[in-house]
Amino acid sequence: MRRQLICANWKMNHSLQDGMDFFLKLESIDYNNPQSDAVVFPAFPLIQPLSTIGAKIGIPIGGQNLNENESGAYTGEVSASMLASCGASWVIIGHSERRDIFGESNELIAKKIIAALSGNLNVILCVGEHLETREDGKTTEFVQNQLAINLDSISPDDMEKITIAYEPIWAIGTGLASKPEDAEEIMSFIRNWLEEKFNTDIADKTRILYGGSVKPDNMSGYAAMKNIDGALVGGASLDAESFWGIIKAVS
């Protein structure tokens, strides 16, 4: 049985004080062992202080990105071991904003996944199509290509630390959430692909999250789907009560 996982991707939002207030608010509304898991992904400078506060209520912290190298002359970059040394236990890799704005290729994302696993981090691997790809009827082909390259050298054992987030790009930050049934169709395709690439056990155990304009009032529709194991949430995760509302919707 897969436990639902709700992830907060704060992107480039929230000061340290905002982040601390968020956790204080969660504490005050009695965040106590819900039936689902939660992870918060703040900006890099907030990771260390928030990992200390998050530990008090059982919410791990993750990075929103990492560099594929271990160390060296890469000004402005952060490695897996640096994230871990600051208390992060998770990292998001391949978010569409990294792919589209920062030009990250499928091959680079594959290297970042290897780096994250070497640093013992849990990975949220994001995949998903642009609107034109969907309109051309090529979504499954596109997602399959992302997965095939991103997970090319990953072993079944490595998959223990990898969660997949299916995020149709046209649904991110637009308010145009995918219908749960449409997301389920692609996520069922992803699970079948995992079975073919790895085995039935891995396909059964791997969590697949939906991402794209999730809110407290639409989460239960996704959680009711057989192949949707939680959500990666942007805008609606910035406010503690809204994030808690999404967690409660699956608990």
* Binding track over 214-243 against ligand PEP, x by CB under 6 A: x-----------------xxxxx-------
Sign for the CA dihedral angle at 209, 164, 147, 85 comes to positive
Cβ atoms of 239 and 200 closer than 8 Å: no
Candidate list 36, 64, 67, 213; residue touching ligand PEP; CB under 6 A: 213
Q: Which is nearer to ligand PEP, 92 or 202 (CB)?
A: 92
Q: Is 45 in the site for ligand PEP (CB under 6 A)?
A: no
State the Rg of the chain over Cα.
17
Active site (catalytic) residues: 95, 167
The answer to the question of residue 172 lying near ligand PEP (CB under 6 A) is yes
**Residue 82 DSSP class:** H
Q: Which two tokens stand for residue 2?
A: 């897969």
Q: Which of 54, 211, 216, 221 binds ligand PEP (CB under 6 A)?
A: 211
| 173 lies in the binding site for ligand PEP (CB under 6 A) | yes
**Rule CB under 6 A: is residue 187 a binding residue for ligand PEP?**
no
Contact of 183 with 222, CB cutoff 8 Å:
yes
Closest residue to ligand PEP, Cβ-based? 234
Of 58 and 173, which CB lies nearer to ligand PEP in the complex structure?
173
| Count of residues in contact with ligand PEP, rule CB under 6 A | 13
Contact 251, 27 (CB under 8 A): no
Residue 128 touches ligand PEP, criterion: CB under 6 A: no
In sequence order, what DSSP letters do the residues of 15-28 get, joined into one string?
-HHHHHHHHHHHHH
Kindly state the greatest CA–CA separation across the chain.
48
**Alpha-carbon span 65 to 79, nearest angstrom:** 9
180, 212, 216, 230: which one binds ligand PEP (CB under 6 A): 212
What is the binding site for ligand PEP (CB under 6 A)?
9, 167, 172-173, 211-214, 232-236
